[in-house]
Structure 1
Amino acid sequence: MKDESVFIYSPELLNYKFNQHHPFNQLRIQVTLDLLEKVDAIQNRQIISPRRATQEELLLIHDQDYVNAVTSAGHGNLSTEVAENYGLGTEDTPIFFNMHEASSLLVGGTLTAADYVMSGKVRHALHLGGGLHHGFSGKASGFCIYNDSSVAIRYLQEKYGARVLYIDTDAHHGDGVQWSFYDDPNVCTLSIHETGRYLFPGTGNITERGQGQGYGFSFNVPVDAFTEDDSWLNCCKTAMIEVAEFFKPDVILTQNGADAHYYDPLTHLSVTMKSFKEIPKIAHEIAHQFCDGRWIAVGGGGYDIWRVVPRAWAYIWLEMTDNKSELSELPSSWVNKWQPYTSDKLPLRWEDDEQLYPPIPRRAEISEKNKQTLEKSLYPIRSIKNK
């Protein structure tokens, strides 16, 4: 029996761990996988171990000096002063043992997903350990050491000659990926995120459209703080469909940060599970419409690892595998297993309560502003279409 999808996972992915108190915690992958197993939505044969990215593969994007610095830092052989020049040893990206080895495994997981999809073994691949979209060629940033998506996109170009559409629905702007391909007309980046006015990394304005031959292939939709489901989904669905129609990719790579949720401690949006259930459906439809189903999905942000991330990320796999099960209540075995690990009361249902938060006073104003932002962002391709 041939599966349509694979799930890239190994317990080794949890070795990407800065410290006990850091908000970036890869335990969320294990908790998500356990939820899928508890609802019989995944089989062992669908779980594929990631490989480690080679030095040559990392150098598709990253500088040799930087890779050397990461390797040295992970073995305690880099001075504090030199480390800080590379964004290492900061509050965001503290140094930890075997940092290079753990980071290159995350990159290799996304490359594994890419090979499975592009070789035709499967149509879809999910690697929740990836999605580290803030990493730069020579510097760590925003919890990200190596940028697995950037490396994978260049790999897809060089090995398969693919035109890649990168779609990022993390609450933070996908800056590292955007800048990696800012002058490349064969990579199109689309990021829907909270405005950088209040949130790291402060970029992702609608005026960031690319440069040189890549001008017109970078799209950003920065939404206002406190944006709710209807406005968020309108921006995501409209932009994803119109950009895909414009670019006509050979493969899509989606970054699925779960930090736009109301509960997320690091962002200011008011999105619920309604959006996290819908966005993978849009991506799935686009993949089948434009690139014979070729869809690679990675994780990303998401810092409420108990109440939000497992449900949000499980929805991606359920969509990838066309799981039509009517899921309402979360399995009590899953809730009982993980509740002792958190002081937050775990949800009992897949969907969020409709009264999750008090009404947002400026809802109409925020939605109208987002609508105008969306129109400005998509204006270049709409103007071409209307000629």
Structure 2
Amino acid sequence: MKDSIFIYSPLYQSYKFHQMHPFTQLRVEVTLDLLKSLDAIQEEEIVYPRVASDQELLLIHDQKYIEAVKLAGEGKLRQEEALGYGLGTEDTPIFPNMHEASALLVGGTLTAVDYVMTGKTKHALNLGGGLHHGFRGKASGFCIYNDSAVAIKYIQEKYGARVLYVDTDAHHGDGVQWAFYDDPNVCTLSIHETGRYLFPGTGNISERGQGKGYGFSFNIPLDAFTEDDSWLNAYRQSLEEIAEFFQPDVIITQNGADAHYFDPLTHLCATIKIYQEIPKLAHEIAHKYTNGRWIAVGGGGYDIWRVVPRAWALIWLEMKNIQVSGSLPKEWVDRWQKKATVPLIPKWEDPSPLYPPIPRKQEIEEKNLNTLNKVLHFIRENKPKRNRTNANESY
């Protein structure tokens, strides 16, 4: 049994809106090349994704929406109808064969699920996934189909397992949250920049689920300009307590890399330090509660040269228990500098000094701590009683 697998196909590059669009799957190729340059991944650890079937997409998405995506990719969907489905917008433009490209990304995450849930591997990484803004009948925020939501429903129906979904993208994981808002067998945690300043504008601490799902949805909206220590404090404390009460059978982590201070679309001020710690704690949680079952996907991240490859490579390196520091491989830096639009940083660590001191640093940290404490208080006061005898015996 392999301890970890990396899901990838060159066809991931077909999920491409246009040349100037900030969302590009080139990030996955550059990350994989970095791992190869480090001799940190073997060819037999790279697994080709399958394409998600319409039946699998229907676990989350409406039939009419899937048909609209197909027609749009063939240039046969009228503009006014397309806009009703969130297609053809500035964020989510129409491109040729968009259904096929999107279904492949979903299939990549489903491939990861099957490998992990059947015991072929402990950990699986699909950086082409993490499209957390997709809704049942509408595209949103660069996301056409929601691979994580489809994967969670697939896990429930095929394997009967309880899923903890952890989203550390700077944008709220709205599509996944709403898909399982009334489901007590899926627990979602999203740590993101407050929606006061950033798309999609949701993810308040008051969004806690509804009906039987009340108390299984958690949000920690962080203030703009949040730095490493405050970010990591919120992450560690919330994830440790949520995992302890929920006792998941499998963990899925969405690993957007857009909380970094270089990111052009967000307002957080984290460094590469948080991307060293995010997978480390996820790894610990997986081995403590799920017998190691951990599926990781990609997400946002729009500084595709200096931030995303390093941040995403660190997920795989954590899965493989490989430690790195110091300089990046010179051949990798030289190879991609020819294409990069900014000077590449030739080391894992960020440059220092990073930026002028944040004037509101103490105020920001106090606001974040107050938000975290409200979430932790709610967890402690409303701890669900988990009866493990009701769980699938195999987990």
Q: TM-score range by the shorter chain?
A: over 0.9
Q: Give matches, 1:31-50, under 5 Å.
A: 31-50=30-49
| Whole-Å separation in 2 of the counterparts to 1:276 and 1:175 | 22
| Whole-Å separation in 2 of the counterparts to 1:317 and 1:5 | 8
For these two proteins, the number of residue pairs brought into alignment is 385
SS at match of 2:278: helix
| Whole-Å separation in 2 of the counterparts to 1:345 and 1:102 | 31
Q: Deviations over 1:128-178 (max 9, x none)?
A: 000000000000000000000000000000000010000000000000000
| Whole-Å separation in 1 of the counterparts to 2:182 and 2:129 | 24
Shift of 1:359: 1.1
Q: Deviations over 1:198-219 (max 9, x none)?
A: 0000000000000000000000
Partner of 1:151: 150
Q: Deviations over 1:170-195 (max 9, x none)?
A: 00000000000000000000000000
Partner of 1:113: 112
Partner of 2:393: none
Q: Give matches, 1:23-62, under 5 Å.
A: 23-62=22-61
| Whole-Å separation in 2 of the counterparts to 1:123 and 1:244 | 18
Selected match of 1:333 from 331, 334, 357: 331
| Whole-Å separation in 2 of the counterparts to 1:182 and 1:4 | 32
Contact 2:215 2:382 in 1 (8 A): no
SS at match of 2:291: coil
SS at match of 1:134: coil
Q: Deviations over 1:349-381 (max 9, x none)?
A: 011123121111111110111000011122221
| Whole-Å separation in 2 of the counterparts to 1:377 and 1:196 | 17
**Residue identity opposite 1:321 in structure 2:** K
SS at match of 2:317: helix
Q: Give matches, 1:145-294, under 5 Å.
A: 145-294=144-293
Partner of 2:389: none
| Whole-Å separation in 2 of the counterparts to 1:306 and 1:327 | 18
**Alignment TM-score, normalising by the size of structure 1:** 0.98
Partner of 1:304: 303
| Whole-Å separation in 2 of the counterparts to 1:26 and 1:291 | 30
Deviates more, 1:68-77 or 1:351-360: 351-360
Q: Give matches, 1:361-380, under 5 Å.
A: 361-380=359-378
| Whole-Å separation in 2 of the counterparts to 1:383 and 1:61 | 32
Selected match of 2:345 from 340, 344, 347: 347
| Whole-Å separation in 2 of the counterparts to 1:351 and 1:33 | 19
Gaps of 5+ in 2: 386-395
| Whole-Å separation in 1 of the counterparts to 2:303 and 2:382 | 41
Shift of 1:384: 4.3
Partner of 2:85: 86
Moved over 6 A (4+): none
| Whole-Å separation in 1 of the counterparts to 2:352 and 2:236 | 22
Shift of 1:382: 1.6
SS at match of 2:374: helix
| Whole-Å separation in 2 of the counterparts to 1:215 and 1:148 | 24
Shift of 1:249: 0.2
Shift of 1:327: 2.7
Aligned residues with identical type, % of pairs: 71
| Whole-Å separation in 2 of the counterparts to 1:343 and 1:111 | 34
Partner of 2:7: 8
Partner of 1:67: 66
**Residue identity opposite 1:351 in structure 2:** E
**Residue identity opposite 2:70 in structure 1:** T
Shift of 1:342: 2.0
| Whole-Å separation in 1 of the counterparts to 2:159 and 2:167 | 22
SS at match of 1:307: coil
SS at match of 1:375: helix
SS at match of 1:341: coil
SS at match of 2:66: helix
**Alignment TM-score, normalising by the size of structure 2:** 0.96
| Whole-Å separation in 2 of the counterparts to 1:322 and 1:39 | 14
| Whole-Å separation in 2 of the counterparts to 1:355 and 1:161 | 49
Shift of 1:49: 0.4
| Whole-Å separation in 1 of the counterparts to 2:70 and 2:160 | 30
Q: Deviations over 1:306-339 (max 9, x none)?
A: 0000000000000001113x43100110010001
| Whole-Å separation in 1 of the counterparts to 2:92 and 2:12 | 17
Instruction: Say if 1:384 and 1:65 are closer, same or farther in 2 by CA, change over 3 A.
Output: closer
| Whole-Å separation in 1 of the counterparts to 2:47 and 2:306 | 26
SS at match of 2:191: strand
| Whole-Å separation in 1 of the counterparts to 2:190 and 2:16 | 26
Partner of 1:126: 125
Contact 2:325 2:349 in 1 (8 A): no
**Residue identity opposite 1:129 in structure 2:** G
**Residue identity opposite 1:14 in structure 2:** Q
Shift of 1:343: 2.8
| Whole-Å separation in 2 of the counterparts to 1:53 and 1:30 | 21
Deviates more, 1:210-219 or 1:375-384: 375-384
